[in-house]
Amino acid sequence: MRILLTGGARSGKSSFAERYAIHLGRRGVYIASAQPFDDEMAARLALHKQRRDESGFPWTTVEEPLHIADWLNGHKPEPGEAVLIDCLTLWLSNWVLRYEQEPDMEERVSAQIEKLAEAVRSYEGDVLLVTNEVGSGIVPEYKLGRVYRDLAGRMNQRIAQTCGEVFLVTSGIPVELKRLAFRFE
């Protein structure tokens, strides 16, 4: 099963994703894309880890800021294992910053998005992917911010295509969107 969880900052996405992974499996693999570049981010990551540790659910944490598609392609899921990737928008920013000075940055990052989408689509186990809705606010003042916002929107659409369930989490309340989606007949 492939599940995408999206919403705004501090909306409850990660805690819901962790609870859903516990519901799906007997053990979890937590793919962390964040990099602790400052003390505040390190504290956030420590809180996430503490929450997982206190859940009583056996989590294995894999820190992978860039090569999540390669990890998925090389990992054979064990029975009862749920993989949780948190978070795609941090993963995306890692790629944007890596290619920021390249003239074909958007094309390179788009290729990484497609590679990830294919890895998610072909993954044989349960995988949950946490992402952020970044396009609902004001238009970023700087070009890189606008490019990032656009790439994030396209990434979320592409990953959502590969997933059987897509949840919007707002104020801690998850709503499954694919069941509610309008369909042209």
pLDDT tens-digit map of 45-71 = 888 888 888 889 999 999 999 999 999
Candidates 2.20.25.10, 3.30.565.10, 3.40.50.1000, 3.40.50.300; CATH matching 2-176: 3.40.50.300
pLDDT digits (tens, 9 = 90+) for 115-139: 999 999 999 999 999 999 998 888 8
Pick the catalytic residue from 23, 48, 67, 75: 48
Domain ranges of the chain: 2-176
Report whether 33 contacts 68 (CB < 8 A): yes
Q: How far is CA 32 from CA 4, 16, 147, in A?
A: 15, 16, 24
Binding site per annotation, positions for GTP: 7-14, 32-34, 49-52, 63, 86
Would you call 6 helix, strand, or coil by DSSP? strand
Q: Is 23 a catalytic residue?
A: no
Q: How far is CA 142 from CA 103, 139, 154, 168, in A?
A: 17, 9, 19, 28
pTM of the model: 0.94
